[in-house]
Structure 1
Amino acid sequence: MDVAHAADDAAAFAGGAGERRSGNERCGRTAASGDREVTDMPTRNAKAQWSGSLKNGKGTVATQSGVLDAAYSFPTRFEDASGTNPEELIAAAHAGCYAMAFSAVLGEEGYDPSQLDARADVTLAEVDGKPTITRVALKVSGKVEGLDAGEFKRIAEDAKNFCPVSRALTGVEITLDVDAA
């Protein structure tokens, strides 16, 4: 994406000036790709380095932006040791993405949230002898003036289907607990 269109694309993602946009219009420019329309958006990256055996080794993960540069190990991932792990990073990405997606969908519906709080709990279990992410439990609460609990829940469900990370994790059961109080 070129810089000249970044602000336009961000406004389109958020629904523009209160106008309702289709999924294909939310993010700006599109191009045909087979049966789908594909919109150019930035590609992000992260790096990991691992040294040593699985149980005795250690590694680091770092994001392209430099915001995260953290150590991880077998105990931080498969036991309860202090430190990060891939599942925690997936949870952070999912919670952050979902909160933004919910805000975007609320905007399309004409609402301006004063606050949204999202949490993602990622479950790692052994399935057929292999560690597997089996579930992501999303929980959301928030303050949106003029929105009743039923509409909050309906829009929260729409946001789950709009969230790019939710869509990326389609092979995993993703639940949503909405606290519309």
Structure 2
Amino acid sequence: MEAVLSSLFTVVGMLATSWLTLRAANQRSDSELNHQAQSALEERTRDRLERLYLAALKLRRDVNTQLANAIFMLTRNVAPKPRSGREVPPLFELEMLVELYFRESLSETFKATREAAERHVDAYIEAIRVAQSSDNPDERAISKAEVREKAGRAITQIDQFARQVKADVPL
């Protein structure tokens, strides 16, 4: 009887050890999967933020380029080079990224940024019209001042948007 009990205790001990080992391995595997999923989520968020920053930088660059073109046109009467039609305008790209990924946290700041950029574009288009149709130096000076003011406001708003992204979007 003692031999049977001893064998039974050995078998039960082996089964318990096997179960504990299996349980520990399973928990470790679950922990690693959760960590990998969290890492993948953080990587996607970082990629989205990077795309958002790059779109904001492109928009800022476009505003500066349009400002320079408008001043040059109004001063020297030379038309700017057309932009390639294949590139998505940065304002549209920025809007798409905000709407897809950051609607809750950035929609108000983006709305102000979009409005400032649109006012700048309106002033830029008006500057092109004045440059093409008017030889009046006063009208050209007014148009230069207007496009400078709108570009300055747009750049300020774009910079504020970038700061808001940094402050409000969690990683």
Q: Highest relative contact order (Cα 8 Å, sep 6+), 1 or 2?
A: 2
| Larger radius of gyration between Structure 1 and Structure 2 | 2
Give the TM-score normalised by the residue count of structure 2. 0.26
Structure with a larger share of its residues in strand = 1
Instruction: Give the structure with the higher percent helix.
Output: 2
**TM-score (normalised: structure 1):** 0.25
